[in-house]
Amino acid sequence: MSWFVTFLEGILSFISPCTLPLVPVYISYFAGSKNTRGRALVCSLLFVAGFCIIFVILGAFAGSVGAFLTQYKTVLNIILGLIICIYGLSVLNILHLPMPKFSPKNIKMTSIFSSLLLGIVFSLALTPCTGAFLGSALMLAANAASFGRGILLLFTYSLGLGLPFILAALLTDSIFSVFSSIQKHRIAVERICGVFLIITGILTALGLFNGSFLSWEV
């Protein structure tokens, strides 16, 4: 179930009100002055590869840290679940957490390989909503208490976030109308994202994602 959750968190990161309005900027940036679909596709693939590399490294680290803390599994479940719930409250604007903002305009496109650098920078300077879901995915990776599972969970998250970018580069104009429709329901999207994170946090605290459901012996 944790695999599905992290993949869904990647998708929700993409459609979050903080990220979605920037997608046309990214795609036009990928296409360059010639505005070719082929170039946009190649650049989007490199962009996804860039942030995937960083996320996988973070996932490996989170999984390794969790593995050292397996003897405190119950306490770890509760702490990680609480952190995820706090992220959810932040998305619902009940709590306000400082998150960095980032725009692709900050990097000059000297070649298609610049999009790989852009992906790396994007992963290190996430927009507010994306940061909440990435944080949740990392908490699930730590909860998995495994180096390998940490890598796979964050790779799954990267797929959820990256596939819409690739589809946007392929479909361009036709998919932007879908983005516009989602943007019109921004408040509803925020509420769905926030509630999803809170539910994920509660299930994590109960130990549902690591096979220790309701086993609360310390």
Q: What confidence tens digit (pLDDT) does each residue in 132-184 have?
A: 777 788 888 887 778 888 899 999 999 999 998 888 877 766 666 666 666 67
- HSE on the CB side for 206, CA within 13 Å? 9
The C-alpha atoms of residue 8 and residue 6 are separated, in whole angstroms, by 5
- Domain definitions of the chain by residue range: 2-205
What b/e sequence results for 62-73 when a residue is b if at least 16 CB atoms lie within 10 Å of its CB, and e otherwise? bbbbbbeeeeeb
- Report, as an integer, the average pLDDT of 19-40: 68
Reference 91, options 203, 189, 201; nearest CA is: 189
pTM of structure:
0.74
